C-alpha cells in the first residue's frame, strides 16, 4: 500500500515536471525514422554476355536521411549513404565515395540492436578487393544456393552503417527479388534472373548523430 503511494506521487511529480518543461521549450522532433523500402533495383539483368547474365553495371544509390533513391549523377557527393549493385553493397566512404561512411555486419535481430556498441569498428570499402559489407555467400548478408541458384538474405544479420555525413543507421535486408517474393526453387532460370536484384529492406536512421536506435 505504502510503496504504491510513493510510486504514485513520484509519477505525479514526473508529469508535473515534464509539463513545466513543455511550457518552457518546444516539443523535441523525433530523430529516429524507421521505414521499410521495397523494389530498389540493383543493376537488374539486361542480357547475356558469353552466356553469363549481366546488368548495366551501375549502382543504385540511396539516402537514409531523405528515404529516397539518389540519382547516379550525384555519386561523387555526400547525398547518398549506400549503393547496391547485384549483391554488392557499398558505403559512402573508403574508396567508394567522398563521405565518411563505413559499415559492419551485426549478428542478432534488428530489434536487438538498440544502440551501436561503443567499441564498434566500422569497416571501409577498398573496392574491388574488399567491401565494408563482405560480398560473398555466407560471409556477409546473403547465402547463395548453387542448386536452386537463389539468393537468400541470412536471418539475424543487421548491417550497421555510418552514413556519408557521419550519422548512424541499421538495415535488415528482407528480400532480393521483385515484389519481395523469392521465386520457387523449381521456377525457370529466366524467371529467377528476370526477378532478381530488387532489394526489400527495413532501416532505422538516427538523425541526431547519436548511436541510439531508440
Partner 1 sequence: MRILLQTLFLLMTTAAFAQQGNDSSRTSLDEVVVTATRTPRSMGNVAIPVAVISSKTLYQSGSLRLNDILAEQTGIQVIDNFGKGIQVQGLSSEYTLILIDGEPLIGRTAGVLDLSKVTVKNIRKIEIVKGPSSSLYGSEAMGGVINIITDRAGQNKTDLGLRYGRFNTVDGNLNFSRRFNKTDIAASLNYNQSKGYSLKPNAVQKTVEPFRRSTQNLSIHQQLGEHWKAGASFRANSSHIDNTIFVQNLGSTIASKGFEKNQENNFTPYLQFNREQKIKSTLRGYLTGFNAVQELAVKNATGGYDDRFKQLFARVENQTDWQMTANAAFTAGAGIVRETVRSNRYDSASTLRMNTIAYFFTQHEQKISAKLTMIGGLRFDANQAYASVWSPKIALQYKAAEKLKLNLSYGRGFKAPDFRQLYLNFTNLAAGAYSVFGSEVAVGEIKRLSAAQLLDQTTALVGSLSALKPEVSGGLNAGLVYTMNASSQFTANIFRNDLKNMIVTDVIAFKKNGGQIYSYFNLNRALTQGIELGAQQKIGQWIQLNAGYQFLYAADKEVLQSIKNGEVFQRSLTNGQAYRMSLSDYGGLPNRSRHSANLKFNAENTKGYFSTIRLIYRSRWGTSDLDGNGLINRSDEYAKGNLQVNTSMGFPVNTHWKFMAGVDNLFNYKDIQFLPGNPGRTAYIDIQFIF
Segment lying near partner 1 (by CB under 8 A), choices 22-30, 56-64, 93-101, 137-145: 137-145
Question: Binding segment for partner 1 among 3-11, 60-68, 179-187, 205-213 (CB under 8 A)?
Answer: 179-187
Long-range CB contacts (within 8 A, 24+) of 5-10: none
Task: Give yes or no for residue 107 binding partner 1 (CB under 8 A).
Answer: yes
Q: Any contact of residue 51 with partner 1 (CB under 8 A)?
A: yes
Least CB distance from residue 74 to partner 1, whole Å? 30
How many whole angstroms separate alpha carbon 77 and alpha carbon 69? 14
Among candidate residues 72, 95, 98, 89, the one with its CA nearest the CA of residue 171: 89
Where b means 16+ CB within 10 Å and e means fewer, 136-161 reads eeeebbbeeeeeeebbbbeeebbbbb
Residue 149 beta carbon to partner 1: minimum distance, rounded to whole angstroms: 8
Q: How far apart are CA 52 and CA 86, in angstroms?
A: 14
Q: Which of 60, 96, 195, 200 binds partner 1 (CB under 8 A)?
A: 200
Element (H, E) at 199: strand 196-206
- By CB under 8 A, tell whether 91 contacts partner 1: no
- Quote the CA–CA distance of 135 and 52 in Å, as a whole number: 19
Q: CA-CA distance, 40 to 103, in Å (whole number)?
A: 20
Distance of CA 144 to the CA centre of its chain: 20
CA distance 198 to 84: 10
Nearer to partner 1, 77 or 152 (CB): 152
Q: Is residue 125 within 8 Å of residue 84, measured between CB atoms?
A: no
Q: Which stretch binds partner 1 (CB under 8 A): 4-12, 57-65, 70-78, 130-138?
A: 130-138
User: Which of 10, 190 has the CB closer to partner 1?
Assistant: 190
C-alpha cell at 212: 541510439
CB of 168 or CB of 199, closer to partner 1: 199
Minimal distance, residue 144 CB to partner 1, in Å: 8
For position 137 contacting partner 1 by CB under 8 A, the verdict is yes
Task: Select 98 or 108, whichever has its Cβ closest to partner 1.
Answer: 108
149 near partner 1 (CB under 8 A): yes
Q: Interface with partner 1 by CB under 8 A: which residues?
A: 48, 51, 53, 107-110, 136-138, 142-149, 152-157, 172, 174-175, 180, 182, 185-186, 188-190, 193, 200, 202
Amino acid at each position: 500500500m505504502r510503496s504504491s503511494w510513493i510510486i504514485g506521487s513520484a509519477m505525479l511529480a514526473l508529469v508535473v515536471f515534464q509539463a513545466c518543461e513543455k511550457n518552457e521549450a518546444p516539443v523535441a522532433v523525433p530523430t529516429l525514422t524507421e521505414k521499410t523500402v521495397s523494389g530498389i533495383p540493383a543493376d537488374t539483368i539486361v542480357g547475356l554476355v558469353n552466356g553469363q547474365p549481366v546488368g548495366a553495371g551501375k549502382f543504385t544509390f540511396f539516402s537514409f536521411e531523405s528515404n529516397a533513391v539518389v540519382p547516379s549523377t550525384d555519386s561523387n557527393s555526400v547525398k547518398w549513404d549506400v549503393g547496391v549493385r547485384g549483391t554488392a553493397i557499398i558505403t559512402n566512404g573508403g574508396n567508394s565515395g567522398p563521405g565518411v561512411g563505413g559499415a559492419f555486419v551485426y549478428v542478432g535481430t534488428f530489434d536487438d540492436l538498440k544502440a551501436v556498441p561503443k567499441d564498434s569498428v566500422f569497416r571501409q570499402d577498398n573496392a574491388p578487393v574488399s567491401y565494408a559489407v563482405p560480398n560473398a555467400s555466407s560471409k556477409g548478408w546473403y547465402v547463395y544456393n548453387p542448386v536452386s541458384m537463389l539468393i537468400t538474405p541470412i536471418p539475424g544479420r543487421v548491417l550497421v552503417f555510418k552514413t556519408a555525413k557521419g550519422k548512424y543507421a541499421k538495415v535488415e535486408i528482407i528480400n532480393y527479388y521483385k515484389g519481395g517474393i523469392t521465386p520457387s526453387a523449381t521456377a525457370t532460370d529466366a524467371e529467377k534472373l528476370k526477378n532478381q536484384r530488387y532489394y526489400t529492406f527495413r532501416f532505422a536512421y538516427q538523425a541526431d548523430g547519436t548511436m541510439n536506435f531508440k
